């Protein structure tokens, strides 16, 4: 998955620290900075790509909005990890915006929807 971001260092720190993702590769921009950082995921990677200069974060709707396009990036967790994830998000200052029987929904610093989910194993 590749995500275009306005503030690459901030977004990298958020994803790397919250999800404990290792840096696989850094790509220079040719001007002494970085244009991309790839973070390791089981079986793949998350590419954070720096948006062109002058780009701004678009306004985001509520979780119930019906816009087409990116909806949520969900990572699988074990059902037994749910409480630990709630505590981890709280400690990181990340507000949980929605809870279901399977998932915890929240946003990254630029407003992208994220979730940790133990689907299909619900909560008792």
pLDDT digit string (tens) for 92-102?
999 999 999 99
Residue-wise pLDDT tens digits, 24-58: 999 999 999 999 999 999 889 999 999 988 887 77
Three-state SS annotation for the chain: CEEEECCHHHHHHHHHHHHCCCEEEEEECCCCCEEEEEEEECCEEEEEEECCCCCCCCCCCCCCCCCCCCCCEEEECCHHHHHHHHHHHHHCCCCCCEECCCEEEEECCCCCEEEEECCCCCCC
Q: pTM of this prediction?
A: 0.85
What pLDDT shows up at residue 71?
79
Which domains, from first to last, does the chain contain?
2-50 (3.30.720.120), 73-117 (3.10.180.10)
């Amino acid at each position: 998955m590749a995500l275009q971001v306005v503030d690459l260092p901030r977004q990298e720190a958020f994803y790397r620290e919250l999800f404990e993702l290792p840096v696989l590769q850094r790509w220079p921009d040719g001007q002494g900075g970085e244009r991309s950082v790839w973070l390791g995921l089981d079986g793949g990677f998350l590419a954070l790509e720096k948006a062109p200069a002058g780009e701004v974060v678009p306004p985001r709707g509520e979780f119930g909005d019906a816009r087409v396009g990116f909806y949520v990036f969900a990572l699988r967790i074990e059902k037994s990890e749910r409480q630990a994830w709630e505590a981890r998000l709280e400690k990181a200052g990340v507000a949980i915006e929605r809870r279901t029987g399977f998932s915890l929904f929240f946003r990254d610093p630029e407003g992208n929807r994220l979730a940790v989910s133990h689907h299909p194993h619900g909560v008792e």
